[in-house]
Amino acid sequence: MPTPVDVLERRIDELRVAVRQAVLAGDRAQATALRAELRRAEREWDDALDEFADQTPVPPLLPIRDQVHNALTLLGVPAAPKLLIAVHEAFFAGEIVGARLTSLRRDEERSFRAAPRQRPYYLCSALTADLLAPARGLLAVSTWPLDRRIVGPLSARVDFLTAAIRIAEQAERHPGAERLLRRFAVNIPGATDSSFADVKPEVVVRAARAELAVHEGADRSHREAAAERARTQLDDAAQLFGSRELQRT
């Protein structure tokens, strides 16, 4: 059954057509009357929409760590707060408050050190391949393999391409992701047309995979070697959050 909003939207469309026809016919009196009726219908539409919104239950917001976990899981690679906010906005309900991300990793580390592995997952640091120190601003998920949480010289590009593929694969089911996908596509050769106007998820995936094939092998070798060093040099907490000594320097 049509809602009052649906009925008013149809009426508004009809009135707009009628106004245009009256103007084209030169009937100013009729056009004026129809415009007044159109304005009344638009006000009624605003009121009906507000009433509909008041009656619609608002889903409870997830805790911020769950919001960040959802965004990271979709991306599958370490990411900075700005990207996490954009991904969550494009794919999930609610919003991530950027200011709350500042202390999130420190809170997760304190929780882990106070009671190790009491949570299903922790939001941890990505680690640099050379120093095994926290990579500035990059968050990861503790349940990921260690080599995926390490970033080397080629990892920024590899992770960018991987994230582009993951976003493109989900974009068709989420219209709000088009703008985010475009931001990735314009930085991948062959992912858009010459005017950068046409962005198709399948084309982005194909272009990203083509470039990924060039870098992925070398990047994986670098990450795996660093992960092996981390396993021998760092304790459990440091493998997630980096060396305490390195964080103080």
Least confident of 39-53, 98-112, 129-143: 39-53
Between 175 and 39, residue with greater pLDDT: 39
Report the alpha-carbon distance of residue 180 to residue 227 in Å, rounded.
31
Pairing, β 150-151 against β 134-141: unpaired
Mean pLDDT along residues 125-139:
95
Say if residue 79 is in the same domain as residue 115: yes
The pLDDT assigned to 195 comes to 67
Short-list 50, 122, 61, 125, CA closest to 96: 61
Task: For residue 24, give its domain range.
Answer: 4-55
The token pair at 71 is: 């965004």
DSSP assignment letter at 98? G
User: Three-state DSSP class for 3?
Assistant: coil
Say if residue 212 is in the same domain as residue 184: yes
Say if residue 128 is in the same domain as residue 219: yes
Question: What confidence tens digit (pLDDT) does each residue in 53-65 have?
Answer: 666 555 556 899 9
Task: Report the amino acid identity of residue 141.
Answer: V
Taking residue 37's Cβ as centre, other Cβ atoms within 10 Å add up to 15
Q: Report whether pLDDT(124) > 50.
A: yes
Reported confidence tier of residue 173, pLDDT bands at 50, 70, 90: confident
Question: What confidence tens digit (pLDDT) does each residue in 184-218 have?
Answer: 999 999 999 876 677 999 999 999 999 999 999 99
Between 211 and 245, residue with greater pLDDT: 211
| Mean of per-residue pLDDT scores for the chain | 90
Which of the listed residues 55, 75, 97 is the one where a domain comes to its end?
55
Which of the listed residues 55, 74, 89 is the one where a domain comes to its end?
55
Facing residues of 113 across strands? none
Say if residue 51 is in the same domain as residue 113: no
Task: Report the amino acid identity of residue 48.
Answer: A
Say if residue 29 is in the same domain as residue 70: no
What ranges make up the beta strands (E) of the chain? 123-128, 134-141, 150-151
Say if residue 47 is in the same domain as residue 68: no
The pLDDT assigned to 198 comes to 79
The token pair at 12 is: 């508004």
The pLDDT assigned to 4 comes to 80
Report the alpha-carbon distance of residue 244 to residue 218 in Å, rounded.
29
Say if residue 68 is in the same domain as residue 175: yes
The pLDDT assigned to 193 comes to 81
Say if residue 47 is in the same domain as residue 145: no
Say if residue 68 is in the same domain as residue 137: yes
Say if residue 105 is in the same domain as residue 28: no
Burial of 122 (0-12, 13-18, 19+ CB in 10 A): buried
* Cβ 89 vs Cβ 183: under 8 Å: no
Mean pLDDT along residues 177-190:
94
The pLDDT assigned to 244 comes to 63
Say if residue 78 is in the same domain as residue 34: no
Which of the listed residues 13, 32, 55 is the one where a domain comes to its end?
55
The pLDDT assigned to 54 comes to 63
The pLDDT assigned to 7 comes to 86
Phi and psi, residue 210, nearest 5°: -65, -45
Say if residue 27 is in the same domain as residue 138: no
The pLDDT assigned to 58 comes to 52
Q: Report whether pLDDT(13) > 60.
A: yes
Structurally, how many domains does the chain consist of?
A: 2
pTM given for the model: 0.74
